[in-house]
Structure 1
Amino acid sequence: MPENVSANNPSSVVVGIDFGTLSGRAVAVRVSDGAELGTAVHHYEHGVISERLPGSAERLPPDTALQSPEDYREVLRRAVPKALAAGGIDPARVIGVGIDFTACTVLPATVGGTPLCELPGLAGRPHAYPKLWKHHAAQPEADLVNAVARERGEPWLARYGGRISSEWQFAKALQVLREDPELYDRADRWIEAADWIVWQLCGSETRNVCTAGYKGIHQDGAWPSRDYLAALDPRFADFVADKLAHPLSQLGGRAGGLTAEAAAWTGLPEGTAVAVGNVDAHVTAAAAQTVAPGQMLAVMGTSTCHVMNSDVLADVPGMCGVVRDGIVPGLWGYEAGQSGVGDIFGWFADTHTPAGYADEAAERGVSVHELLSAKAAEEPVGGHGLVALDWHSGNRSVLVDHDLSGVIAGMTLATRPEEVYRALVEATAFGTRTIVAAFEDSGVPVTDFTVAGGLVRNPFVMQIYADVLRRPLNAIGSDQGPAVGAAIHAAVAAGAHPDIHAASRAMGEVRRGAFRPDPTRADAYDELYAIYTDLHDHFGRGGSDALHRLRRIRNEAAAS
C-alpha cells in the first residue's frame, strides 16, 4: 500500500474495473460508504471478433467469438485515469484496485503471460486469441467432455447439473488442440482473462477460486484426473498439469501490488493493492448485498447470470456449477444463466423493426427499445397469442445446449413488432422461472430475488419478470454493479474492511421491493408459462431434434 494513505482513512478510495463484452469501465469508490466518485468507460476497438480477424479477409467459422487482449490493456490506460479525473481524485488516495471479467473468457499465453496472438507470426491464427464467453464453436468438444464423464462416472459432473458447457475452459481448450495442435503445444498457460489482467497489473500469476471452480471443473481440491483427460484425447492428458494447475487464491485476497508499468498505465501509485480476480456476476453480489444464503442475484445484460449463496449442497440440474467459496468464503456458491437476454432484444430491435418505428422513436426522443416497450406495455398478457423460446444464443441453464436456437410460436399476419418484442422479453423471464424452479425442486430455497445490470433501467422488462416469477424484485442501487463489486473486493484486499460481508454492508446498496407482481397478470402468465414449458421440453429434451438438425445444416452450408 502506498505510504501516504491508510486503509482506515475515511477519504480512502478504491477502483473497480469491469471488463465486459464490448467495453470496460472503471469506477472510483469511497471505502467508508461506497459512494461512487468518478466513472469512465472505454469501448473496445475490436469489440467481439466474430467474422474476421483484424487485417484478415478470411471469414471465421460460425459461433466464433474472440477478442483482442490489447483492448483490455487500453481500459487500464484510458478508463482508470478518466474515472479519477471525473471525480477530481488525487491518485494518492487510492489504496486498492479490483477487477472483474466476463467468463469464461480464456486465452492461451506464454510462461511470461504474453498472449499467443501477440507473438510474431501468430496474429493470423484464430485459436491464438482470447475466446469470449459466448464463443460457442466448441459444442462438439463439450459433447465429448460430457459423454466421457458420464461413461466414466466422474463424480464432479453432478456439481455442474450433469453437463459441462461449451462456454467453459475444457471444451474451448480441447477445440484448440483438435483444430490447431501446433498452437496448443505453444501455449504454456491456459488462463482466464480475469487472472491474466491481474497478472498484467501486479506481475504475479494467480488463479482465483471462482473461475477455477465454475469454469475449470476444480472441485474438492482437485482438477479432473489425468486418466479422464487422456480418455478425451491422449494429447490432452497433461493439459491440467502443464497449462492450468496453479495455487488458487481466495476472493477478496491480495494478489500483489501494482507494478511500475501498470502504475504508469493507470496513473495510480506503484504498489497499490491488487485484489484477486473475479467474475462479473459473482463480484456483483457484494455490491447488491446478496451474500447471505437464499439471496439470488440476476445480473441482466447481454446475457443473464444467476448467482446465489447457500449453506445447502445439492445436485441442481443444469447449473453452471456449485463451488465452495465461489462467491464468498464459507458458503456454497451456485451459478446458473441464460446465454442471451439483452442480446435477443437488441437483435430484434436492430434487425426486425420497421423504419417507421425508428422514425417514431426519433420523434419522441426515445430509443427503439423504449418505443417497443411502451407499445408492448399497452397489451394485455397473452394478447399477442405468442410464446417464444429464449435460445437465440443457445441454452446455458437448465439444458446446457448451445446447439439450440430460438423459436417464436403463434405468429399470424396480424402480429405486430411490439408483440414479438414482448414475447421475447417474456421468454427470457420464463427461462429465469425455469432456473428458479430447478433450484427449489432440488431442495435449494430461493428466498430473495435481486436484479442488477443494464436491463434494470427498463421498468417494462422488470415488471414482466416480477409478474412471471410471482415475487417482488429487489434492485441494486448502482448502475455500475460489477465495477462497484470489484471495488468492494479491492477494499477487502487493501485491509479497509475485514471481509466481503462487512464490506458489502458498508459499501453495497439495494432497493427492496423495487418491482412487485400484479396477481392478475401473474395468474395469466402461469398459463403462458405452461405452454413455454411444453415447447421447452419438446425442442430441448428429446421431443424433436429439429433445432439440432437445422444447426447442423447451417454449419455445413457455412463451411462449404
Structure 2
Amino acid sequence: MPGGNEPRSYYVGMDVGTGSVRAALVDQRGTLLAFADQPINQWEPQFNHHEQSSEDIWAACCVVSKKVVQGVNLHQIRGLGFDATCSLVVLDKQFRPLPVNPEGDSRRNIIMWLDHRAVSQVHRINETKHSVLQYVGGVMSVEMQAPKLLWLKENLRETCWDKAGHFFDLPDFLSWKATGVTARSLCSLVCKWTYSAEKGWDDSFWKMVGLEDLVTDNYSKIGVIGADVKGHGLACEGQPVTSRLAVICGTSSCHMGISKNPIFVPGVWGPYFSAMVPGFWLNEGGQSVTGKLIDHMVQGHAAFPELQAKATARGQSVYAYLNSHLDLIKKAQPVGFLTVDLHVWPDFHGNRSPLADLTLKGMVTGLKLSQDLDDLAILYLATVQAIAFGTRLIIEAMESAGHSISTLFLCGGLSKNPLFVQMHADITGLPVVLSQEVESVLVGAAVLGACASGDFASVQEAMAKMSKVGKVVFPRHEDKRYYDKKYQVFLKLVEHQKEYAAIMKGD
C-alpha cells in the first residue's frame, strides 16, 4: 500500500441502478472524493414490459467516470468496480445489441429486472419442480433470467433468439465492456442463473425447461466463470457475521444474510454458495419496487403539487419536508402512532419474499374523504411502515428456517431517509447500522475495484481499510406493543386478499 510521501491510490466505484448511473472516486481509506450521476433511459412499451439500452447505459458510465476523475493523475487510479441491477443484456455473435421487443428496436436490448413479461414461462419452469429450484427458495422468480430467456425463445425466435451470441447479466456486461473479457461473475450466475459454485451448471434443468440450446459449447452464451476471489474470515465486533442482515434499499429492497451451512428458506432465494462472501452460503430476500412504491403513493396523491411547492420553497426534498411535517402533526405521541387506523399492504408489484407470489396486489385500508397534506404525510408514513413490516416478515421466515439475525445493516438511497431507518428499527426490534459514508453502495463497488487492483490481499482486507460504521439507530422498545398490533393487521391484510380472490374465483 502507498505510504509516507508516495502518491495516493484511487478507485472508482460505479453503481448502475434502475434510473441512473452513479460513480464515485474513492481513496485507499474509503473516503469519497468525487461523485457524479447521470439518468438512463427506460421504455415500457406495454404493461409489465420494461426495457433499457446497453449502449445508453455504457455511455452514461463513460460520462460519470470522466467527471469523477477530473484533475486526477490517471496512473493513480488503480481499480474500477461495478454493481448493477440483474437485468438481462442480449447481444449477437459480434457483440451488437439485439431487440428484446416485437418492434425490432435493437437499441432496446435489455429486459429489466422488474419486467414481468415471462409469467407463463416462470409458471411452467416451477411446475417442473426441478431440484435446482430448492436453491431459489423453492420457486423461481419471474425476475430471474431463465424465464426471460425462455420468453425470448418462444416470442422472438427469428429476430433475437436465433441471432444471439451472448446473454449477460448487466454487471457482467459492464465488466466485459471495461475489460474485453467475457468471464461472468460467480455472484451473478449463482444468484440469477441457477449456477452452483459447487456443482456447476445442471444440464438436466435447461433441457427440462426447453432451453437445451444453451447447454451447447459449454454454456458459452450465458457464462464462463471468471476467477473466484478467495477470502478469509470476517471480523465483526463481537457478533458473528452470520447475525447480520444487509438491507440494500433503493428502487427495490434486497435482504442479504449468510450462514456457514446451507439454509433453505421457502420464498427466499438461495442458499447460494460463495455468492457474496467466499465460503459462506447466501440467502437473499427481497421486496420489489419499494422505493418506487413510496414515489407512487406520494406523487399520485391530490396534495402532491402543494407538497412539491412547499418543499421547493424550503429548499428540501419532498421526503425531508414530509418527515418534518409528520413531526409537526404528531403532537405528543410518537410519530409512528399516526397510522393507528391506516394500514398498507405494499405488494403493488407482487411479492418476491417470502410469499413468492407475483399475483398479489397492494392494499390500503382506512382512507378518509379528505386529501390534504396531513393525509398525504400519514399515507407516506403508512407506506414506509408497510415496507418495514415486509422486512420483518422476511426476517421471521429466515429465522424460522435457522438463521439468527441480531443486526440490520442498511445502505442504498432509502437508508438516507431517517424515517425509513427508524421505522425499520422500531418494527423489526433490531438495531440498524449505517455506514459512515452515506454512498456506501458506491464505496462497496470501489472496494471490489481496489481488491481487483491487487492493492489488498482480499475483499475482507479492503473492506476493513475502506469502510467504517457511521451510526447505529436503536429501536424504541417502548413502542413495541403498538407495532406488534399493526403487524397482526399487516398479516391479516394478505390473508384477506387471498380470501377475496378465492371468493371471486368460486362458483
Q: 1:444 aligns with which of 396, 399, 403?
A: 403
Cα deviations across residues 274-325 of structure 1 (Å, max 9, x unaligned)?
xxxxxxxxxxx99x9x993221111111111111222131111111222111
Confirm or deny that 1:457 pairs with 2:412.
no
Q: Corresponding residue for 1:398?
A: 354
Q: Aligned partners of 1:357 and 1:122: how far apart in 2? A: 40
Matched, 1:293 2:276: no
Q: Distance in 2 between matches of 1:372 and 1:548?
A: 38
* AA in 1 matched with 2:69: L
Shift of 1:75: 2.6
Residue type of the alignment partner of 1:467: D
Could you say which residue in structure 2 is the equivalent of 1:472? 431
List per-residue Cα deviations over 1:355-376 (Å, max 9, x = no partner): 3333333343323222333333
1:34-73 aligned at under 5 Å gives the runs: 34-44=30-40, 46=41, 48-50=42-44, 60-73=45-58
Aligned to 2:143: 167
SS in 1 for 2:21: strand
Deviation at 1:380, TM superposition (A): 5.0
Q: Is the 8 A contact 2:93 2:165 kept in 1?
A: yes
Alignment map for 1:539-554 (pairs within 5 Å): 539=497, 542-545=498-501
Whether 1:24 aligns to 2:21 is yes
Pairwise CA distance, 1:447: 2.5
Match of 1:212? 189
Secondary structure of the corresponding residue to residue 249 of structure 1 = coil
Contact 1:7 1:494 in 2 (8 A): no
Residue 493 of structure 2 is aligned to residue 535 of structure 1: yes
Pair 1:417 & 2:372 matched: no
Given the alignment, which residue of 331, 348, 352 partners 2:301?
A: 352
CA distance in 2, matches of 1:129, 1:158: 30
Secondary structure (helix, strand or coil) at the match of 2:50 reads coil
State the shift of 1:127 in Å.
Answer: 10
Partner-residue secondary structure (3-state), 2:110:
coil
- Please name the residue that 2:317 is paired with: 367
Q: Which residue of 1 aligns with 2:77?
A: 94
Q: For residue 187 of structure 2, what is the amino acid of its counterpart?
A: C
* Matched residue, 2:462: 503
Provide closer, same or farther for how the CA distance between residues 544 and 190 of structure 1 changes in structure 2, counting only shifts above 3 A: farther
Contact 1:324 1:331 in 2 (8 A): yes
Is 1:77 aligned to residue 62 of structure 2?
yes
Q: Distance in 1 between matches of 2:269 and 2:469?
A: 25
Matched, 1:15 2:9: no
Q: Are residues 1:433 and 2:413 paired?
A: no
Secondary structure of the 1:244 match is coil
Could you say if the C-alpha distance between residues 80 and 126 of structure 1 is closer, same or farther in structure 2, counting changes exceeding 3 Å?
Answer: closer
CA–CA distance in 1 between the matches of 2:269 and 2:504? Answer: 21
- Per-residue CA deviation, residues 115-142 of structure 1 (Å, 9 max, x unaligned), is 2249xx9973479611111112212211
State whether residues 467 and 521 of structure 1, in contact with CA within 8 Å, keep that contact through their aligned partners in structure 2.
yes
Which of 133, 137, 147 is matched with 2:113 structurally?
133
The change in CA–CA distance for 1:72 and 1:10 in structure 2 (over 3 A counts) is same
Quick one: which amino acid aligns to residue 395 of structure 1? Answer: N
**Which position in structure 2 is the counterpart of 1:190?**
167
The reply on whether 1:147 has 2:97 as its aligned counterpart is: no
State percent identity of aligned pairs: 27
User: Aligned partner of 1:438: which letter?
Assistant: A
4+ runs deviating over 6 angstroms: 5-8, 546-549
State the alpha-carbon separation in 2 of the partners of residues 451 and 432 from structure 1.
12
Aligned to 1:263: none
Tell me if the contact between 2:311 and 2:317 (Cα under 8 Å) persists in the aligned partners: yes
Contact 1:322 1:332 in 2 (8 A): yes
Instruction: Encode CA deviations 1:478-523: one digit per residue, 9 max, x unaligned.
Output: 232222111111111111111111111100122242x111122222
Structure 2 counterpart of 1:308, one-letter code: G
SS of aligned partner of 1:307: strand
The alignment's TM-score, normalised by the length of structure 2, stands at: 0.89
Corresponding residue of 1:312 = 261
Q: For residue 360 of structure 1, what is the amino acid of its counterpart?
A: K
* Alpha-carbon distance, 1:6 to partner: 7.1
- Structure 1 distance, partners of 2:357, 2:499, is 15
Deviation at 1:463, TM superposition (A): 1.2
Once the two structures are superposed, residues 219-269 of structure 1 have per-residue CA deviations (whole angstroms, 9 ceiling, x without a partner) of: 254456444333323xx222243522423432589xxxxxxxxxxxxxxxx
Residue of structure 2 aligned with 1:246, choices 209, 224, 241: 224
Q: Which residue of 2 aligns with 1:387?
A: 343
Could you tell me whether the CA contact under 8 Å between 2:198 and 2:273 is conserved in 1? no
1:442 alignment partner AA: A
Q: Distance in 2 between matches of 1:202 and 1:245?
A: 16
Distance verdict in 2 for CA 1:7–1:211, change over 3 Å: farther
* 1:409 shift after superposition: 1.7
2:120 match: secondary structure: helix
Q: Distance in 1 between matches of 2:245 and 2:145?
A: 25
Q: Deviations over 1:151-192 (max 9, x none)?
A: xxx222222111111111101111111111112111122111
Please show how residues 245-264 of structure 1 align to structure 2 within 5 Å.
245-251=223-229
| Contact 1:302 1:342 (C-alpha < 8 Å) held by counterparts | yes
CA distance in 2, matches of 1:61, 1:139: 14
Partner Cα separation in structure 2 for residue 383 and residue 401 of structure 1: 26
Counterpart contact for 2:93–2:163, Cα < 8 Å? no
What is the aligned partner in structure 1 of residue 271 from structure 2? 322
Please, which runs of 5 or more residues in structure 2 have no aligned partner? none
Cα offset, 1:29, TM superposition: 1.2
Bigger mean CA deviation after superposition, 338-347 or 108-117? 108-117
Give the AA of the match of 1:364. R
1:81-100: per-residue Cα shift (whole Å, max 9, x none)? 11012xx3211101111111
Q: Deviations over 1:383-415 (max 9, x none)?
A: 440211111222111122223221112223357
Amino acid at match of 2:228: Q
Residues 470, 522 of structure 1: 8 Å contact kept:
yes
CA distance in 2, matches of 1:462, 1:487: 24
Is the CA contact (8 Å cut-off) linking 2:50 and 2:115 kept in structure 1? Answer: yes
C-alpha distance 422-545 of structure 1, shift in aligned 2 (>3 A): same
Question: Which whole-Å CA distance do the structure 1 matches of 2:77 and 2:250 have between them?
Answer: 29
Greater CA drift, 313-322 or 123-132 = 123-132
* Letter aligned with residue 250 of structure 1: D
- Equivalent pairs counted in the alignment come to 487
Which residue type is aligned with residue 345 of structure 1?
Answer: I
Query: Compared with structure 1, are the counterparts of its residues 439 and 122 closer, same or farther at alpha carbon in structure 2 (3 Å cutoff)?
Result: closer
Native 8 Å contact 2:97 2:107 kept in 1: no
Contact map agreement 2:429 2:475 (CA 8 A) in 1 = yes
SS of the residue aligned with 2:146? helix
Deviation at 1:353, TM superposition (A): 4.0
Paired residues of 1:291 and 1:328 also in contact (CA < 8 A): no
Cα distance in 1 for partners of 2:229, 2:20 equals 24
Q: Secondary structure, in 3 states, of the residue corresponding to 2:464?
A: helix
For the aligned residue pairs, the C-alpha RMSD in angstroms reads 2.9
In structure 1, the residue matched to 2:92 is 110
